[in-house]
Homo-oligomer: A and B are copies of this chain.
Amino acid sequence: MCKTNTRLTKQRKLILEELERVKDHPTAYEVYERVRGRLPQISLGTVYRNLDILSANGIIKRLDIGQGQRRFDITTDDHKHIRCIFCNRIDDIPLNTYHQLTTIIGIVGDVTGYRGIGCSMDFHGICPECQKQGNRIHSSPEQKPDSGYMNNAKNKEE
């Protein structure tokens, strides 16, 4: 399924099946709850690990939208997302990219029925500094960025 030496375990298969069955964008915990209905002893760590592996292999998509819980999405066709600022639900938007940005918000409102729409458009890529360093990946990108938080920061001083 993924790269060689990636085994198709019963757990992994069920996680994929539940992701395919579901229409919305479940959190890791929601996937866990669904799979647990069919395989009670599955652990949350297993779900997290598999969701990471599946998204690293491009089979599913990891959504890091807003704060709080990460969500996962099995559809592979190109689309964007809209989130309700009250209930935090996430819907799909099949977006034609041949429009001007200024008209897109109007289209999104028509298609989704959302109101009071704002847009946070964020880009990601490899910065000039990292290009200089020969693009060496120290840890898995998108997975373990340098956080510089608390203990880490304190340890720098030693």
Contact = CB atoms under 8 A, between A and B. Distances in A.
B29 A66 contact: no
Main SS of chain A's interface residues? mixed
Interface string A119-158: 1111111111111000101100110011111100100000
Copies in the complex: 2
Contact of A108 (B85, B123, B146): B123
A144 to B, nearest CB: 9
A33 interface: yes
Contacts of A33: 153
Given A66-B145, A69-B149, A119-B123, 10 more contacts: A29-B153, A82-B122, A83-B122, A84-B125, A86-B130, A86-B135, A87-B145, A88-B146, A101-B104, A117-B125
